[in-house]
Amino acid sequence: MKSNRLSFGSLVVCVILLLVHMAFADPNAPSVPSLLPDDLVNVQYPSLEGLAPGSQEAQDRQRQAAQQLGLPVEVRTRVTGIVLRLIPAGTFMMGSPSNESGRRDDEGPQHQVTLTKPFYCGQFEVTQGQWQQVMGSNPSYSTDAGPDAPVEQVSWDDCQAFLNKLCEMEGVSEGTYRLLTEAEWEYACRAGTMTAYCFGDSAVVLGDYAWYYGNSPNGTHPVDQKKPNAFGLHDMHGNVWEWCVDWSGEYLSEPQIDPLGPPSGVLHRVVRGGGWVSDAGGCRSADRGKGSLDDRDSDLGLRLARITPSYP
């Protein structure tokens, strides 16, 4: 005969789900949680094999931050199903050393940056299918690559419209979903490393981690086909350039805390990561690009950030 009582294990799961719901609840949002934990216990951490020194420490910080904050490492948006990974607060050296191969002048001076707040970062670039779901259209050039390929041909202003509508669809306040700052982007890309790429200084194995001109001269590819970095993020090198919040500007040599770039700008916002038309040097962690607010290119897309509930 079946018992009507909940098992102890089921009760524990229910309590955990309730706590996650309360942590992510918005007072003005619908009564359903805006984020769903992909897995509260058995979250998958990527293999560190082949990644550069510092990767293990970064992954350990990610795990510890989740435990200390009581937040899942990986979450999925309720309506659109966009997966995000928790990025811990931390300090790193931003920019490239003067002897890095392929270095450009605007990557220096290399300087210390501290990010005081953890945040969620999209595991993948926003896809054509996700953009279509939110905006009702797909502006991309590489439509034959399928709905799981990154959306492209979107301007910075287009991205703001997408983010505002996404917040509305997900039942959260405006600004909850946003672009990454340039500092957040490089910190998330490096994932504890200080090398040219998350896997080291040599581009010999770049094709294992990136779609770039050396292996993809005709267009983008689905976002889940290349190896991730230690934080579990895919395509931080290549596929499409990713818009950032910041106006483009020169680096300062002094240590920075939660930098946001210049307070204003005339023409250009920062783009990062390189794309399918980039050479290997353009896909380095420190490489910087820029675009005007209305630029739309077949190698220009976006990745999401989300504020964590503990740090509004």
Q: Which amino acid is at 30?
A: P
Mean pLDDT of 147-164: 98
Is the pLDDT at 89 greater than 60? The verdict is: yes
d(CA 287, CA 107): 7
- Give the pLDDT of residue 308: 87
Cα-Cα end-to-end distance for the chain: 49
Cβ atoms of 150 and 141 within 8 Å: the answer is no
Q: What are phi and psi of 177, to 5 degrees?
A: -100, 135
- What is the per-residue pLDDT for 263? 84
What pLDDT sits at residue 5? Answer: 31
What is the Cα–Cα distance from 94 to 251, expressed in whole angstroms? 9
189-223, pLDDT tens digit by residue?
999 999 999 999 999 999 999 999 999 999 999 99
In the DSSP assignment, the letter for residue 300 is: E
Which pLDDT band holds residue 29 (cuts at 50, 70, 90)?
very low
Q: Is the predicted pLDDT of residue 33 greater than 80, yes or no?
A: no
**How much is the pLDDT for 28?**
43
Percentage of the chain exceeding pLDDT 70: 85
**Tokens 């490489």 appear where?**
287
Which one has a higher pLDDT value, 308 or 29? 308
Is the pLDDT reported for residue 108 higher than 70?
A: yes
- 281-296 b/e (C-beta count within 10 Å ≥ 16 → b): bbbbbbbbbbbeeebb
Residue, of 30 and 157, whose pLDDT is higher: 157
Give pLDDT, residue 14: 41
Q: What are the two backbone dihedrals, phi and then psi, of residue 204, each rounded to the nearest 5 degrees?
A: -60, -40
Answer whether residue 27 shows pLDDT above 70: no
pLDDT at 269: 96
pLDDT digits (tens, 9 = 90+) for 37-75: 554 345 788 999 999 999 999 999 999 999 999 899 999
Pairwise pLDDT comparison (82 vs 263), residue with the higher score: 82
Q: Is 250 strand, coil or helix?
A: coil
Confidence of residue 36 (pLDDT cuts 50, 70, 90): low
CA contacts within 13 A on the Cβ side of 280:
17
3-state helix, strand, coil in the chain (%, to 5): 25, 20, 55
Mean pLDDT within 156-183:
96
2-23: average pLDDT = 39
For range 258-264, the mean pLDDT:
90
Instruction: List domains and CATH numbers for the chain.
Output: 34-307 (3.90.1580.10)
Contact 46, 227 (CB under 8 A): yes
- How confident is the model at residue 34, as a pLDDT? 55
Torsion, Cα of 104, 203, 210, 48 (10° steps): -110
Mean pLDDT of the residues in the chain = 88
Q: What is the pLDDT of residue 216?
A: 95
- 311 vs 169, residue with greater confidence: 169
- pTM, two decimals, is 0.87
The Cα–Cα gap between 278 and 102 comes to: 12
Lowest mean pLDDT among 37-41, 157-161, 236-240: 37-41
Does the structure show a pLDDT above 80 at 22?
no
